Chains A and B, each alone.
Chain A
Amino acid sequence: MNRNVVFVLAVVLGITGLLFAGKFLAPHRTPPAQAGSGNERLTAGDVKGSVAPDFELNLLRGKGKKMKLSDLRGKGVVLDFWATYCEPCKIEMPWFVDLQKKYASQGLQIVGVDIEDIDEKDVVEFTHKMGINYPILLGTEKVADLYGGLNGLPMTFFIDRSGKIIDRHLGLMGADVIEENIQKALQGGSSSAPSSQ
């Protein structure tokens, strides 16, 4: 083997080594979400079957009271990220109000997370005007990041009783699609679920 060949071989191994080192040793922005502790950040890809990342956020009008997502294990959860400036988000809200009434007894909990930087009193006024009957949490950038960045709204996650994500949807859905996913969320998950009626 002549010297040129050895040199090329060294370059090949060097480049490959550097690229792999960069890929695997650098701090990862986005560890893939797996069924596990529920603290992994969601990626932009398919998140079905992943455990919904856990968080604790202040409740709107809660006077400092917080709500933790993992406390809702055993329920089917709709996690709706929204903002007051988002017109499509407003369209869904009355549907959520109706569906919360319809499925509450079967163990549904809809949770709204307001993702924007405005005064809490404006959010209170808005939710009052919309007649919201489910808890609204005051979102943070950290939680938005945990849920994949939330680059668009509404962003809705359907979570089964075991805390696993059934589906994620960006943008306005039809009421029928929401209801179908709610039924799936209520059907899936642990046996510790409240009995259906």
Chain B
Amino acid sequence: MQKALFSIAAIAVLLCAASAQQESLPSKGRSFVTFEPLDTVTVMGKKPAPVEFTFHVQEGYHINSNQPANPELISTQLHFSLPGDLAIGKVQYPAGTLTAFPFDPTQKLSVYSGNLVIKALVMTPSNSPAGTHTVHGELRYQACDNNACYPPKKLPIEFNVKITRGSTTPHRKSSK
């Protein structure tokens, strides 16, 4: 009797879960780009610390480069919200790959696909007090595939910056 009741309970739960799943809509928060987390970036005094932000564009999609081929296209940009007197400078975007897509083989667009590495320098005044700050930022991009385009997105990122008197050592976390 008890086994039968447990079976009924399990079936009831599964049926409700399946029913709820059927009604769910595709997520509006769909992301086409992921960020590879950075380990703490250490800045010594006023010597800038180089940092590389690595993103991965999902297979089958592309995003416009920082310098798209035509002015209506939305460029990929990295923006930061900086705590204290931290500064980020010399943001270097890679050149886009000129690619013709099936929707218009006559036109080449400047795009990023696969891995994307954006380089920058993290700086702080020499008199900054030692300590660790969390920098928040976002990658603004707009993705398309071979047939359709998707609304502009903002991918939040964050990383820690440690201000110290030691050497500068940006590290990357081991990839998952």
Contact = CB atoms under 8 A, between A and B. Distances in A.
Interface of A: 1, 4-5, 8-9, 11-12, 15-16, 19-20, 22-23, 29-30, 43-44, 83-91, 115-116, 126, 148-154, 170-172
A87 B104 contact: yes
A151 B147 CA distance: 13
A148 B25 CA distance: 9
14 contacts: A11-B9, A12-B5, A12-B12, A16-B12, A19-B13, A23-B19, A30-B25, A87-B149, A90-B104, A149-B28, A153-B149, A153-B150, A171-B147, A172-B147
B25 A44 contact: yes
Contacts of A171: 145, 147-148
A149 B25 contact: yes
Contacts of A22: 20
Contacts, number: 96
Interface string B14-49: 001101100101101010000000000000000000
Contacts of B145: 171
Contacts of A87: 73, 101, 103-104, 107, 109, 144, 149
B8 to A, nearest CB: 6
A5 B142 contact: no
A85 B75 CA distance: 10
Interface of B: 1-2, 5-6, 8-9, 12-13, 16-17, 19-20, 23, 25-26, 28, 30, 72-74, 101, 103-104, 107, 109, 142, 144-145, 147-152
Nearest to A12: B9
A116 B9 CA distance: 48
B103 A15 contact: no
Contact of A151 (B5, B12, B26): B26
Contact of A152 (B74, B149, B152): B149
Contacts of A8: 2, 5-6, 9
A44 B19 CA distance: 15
Given A16-B12, A153-B148, A43 B73 contact: no
Contacts of A116: 151
A194 B51 CA distance: 66
A12 B12 CA distance: 8
A156 to B, nearest CB: 11
Contact of A5 (B1, B17, B19, B144): B1
A172 B101 CA distance: 12
A30 B25 CA distance: 9
Nearest to B25: A44
Given A4-B2, A8-B2, A151 B30 contact: yes
Contacts of B109: 87
Nearest to A28: B23
Given A85-B152, A87-B101, A151-B26, A19 B147 contact: no
A16 B16 CA distance: 8
B25 A91 contact: no
A54 B13 CA distance: 38
A85 B25 contact: no
B12 A172 contact: no
Contact of A12 (B1, B8, B72, B104): B8
A130 to B, nearest CB: 11
